[in-house]
Each structure stands twice: as C-alpha cells, then as structure tokens.
Homo-oligomer: A and B are copies of this chain.
C-alpha cells in the first residue's frame, strides 16, 4: 500500500481527541485501538445491550464503529484546521457479528483535497483470538477546511 504523509505531525493526538468527543462511543463502549497515517482501528467488546433480535451485534453497532474507523483514517491525513464529514458509505454484511468483540479498520485508498475514499473491514474476534471477516465497506469523506473539530452544536 501507499505510504501516506500526514499533513499534521500531531495527527495521532488530534485523532484520538476527536474520537474521544464522540459521545456515542462511550455509550456503546468502543475504543480506538490503533492510529496510523491513513489508518485507524476501533474495537467494540460484546455486550447484550448492543444486540439485534437474534442475539448478535446489531448491524448498526457494527456500522457505527465502521463509519468512525473510516472517517478517522481520512482525518489522520488532514491539516490541523480541517474537519471530516461522511458523505456516504455502504457495507456488505458477510456473516453474523458474533464473538467477544468486533474490530473495524478504516484505510484510506484515495486521499484528496475535498474527497477521500476509504476501505472498511470489520472482523469478529472469538475467545481464542481468531478473527473472521464479517463486513466490508466503502466510504466517501468530505474535508471541511478552516473548521474547528471542536463541538459546534448540541
């Protein structure tokens, strides 16, 4: 894969701080485990209150961390005064999301001044540490220039 040069040397701290401001991540118990240029990973441990009617992780829980993993993968490459917005995403759910946790990874496949495209993968991890691909997606992110990432609403 391409090696990306982040525009902001402080990209990791900035990315983790923004993730920490996503209050929904606290609600569901998600954690950002990895941050690299053009890449982030977010893990979500299994909890019964995240399930759908069959007892698996709800696709919405999977999509929530998938969307943020891709969004922050793009964000790592942005200058310090830019913010990120998801324009669209699509996800194919390949297998039931069961296991001790699900891990979403976002990878930039095409960075851009206004639009960035990311590949998204979600794996389910079992108690023995084995992982299985359960979802794959693509995402288009918009970069908002000269816009603080600090909350402006709510």
Measuring CB to CB, which residues of chain A are less than 8 angstroms from any residue of chain B? 18-19, 21-24, 26-28, 48-56, 58-61, 63-65, 67-68, 83, 85-96, 98, 109-110, 114-115, 117, 119, 133, 136-138, 140, 142, 149-154
CA A48 to CA B26, docked complex, whole Å: 11
A119 vs B90: C-alpha distance in the bound complex, in angstroms? 13
Stoichiometry, copies per complex: 4
Please pick, from B48, B83, B153, the residue contacting A154 in the complex, using a CB distance under 8 A.
B48
**In the complex the two chains form, what is the Cα distance from A123 to B129 in whole Å?**
35
With A49-B24, A94-B110, A136-B117 given, is the CB distance from A64 to B55 under 8 Å? Answer: no
Known: A63-B64, A88-B92, A92-B110. 8 other contacts (CB 8 A): A23-B48, A24-B50, A27-B27, A27-B50, A52-B68, A60-B60, A61-B64, A94-B110
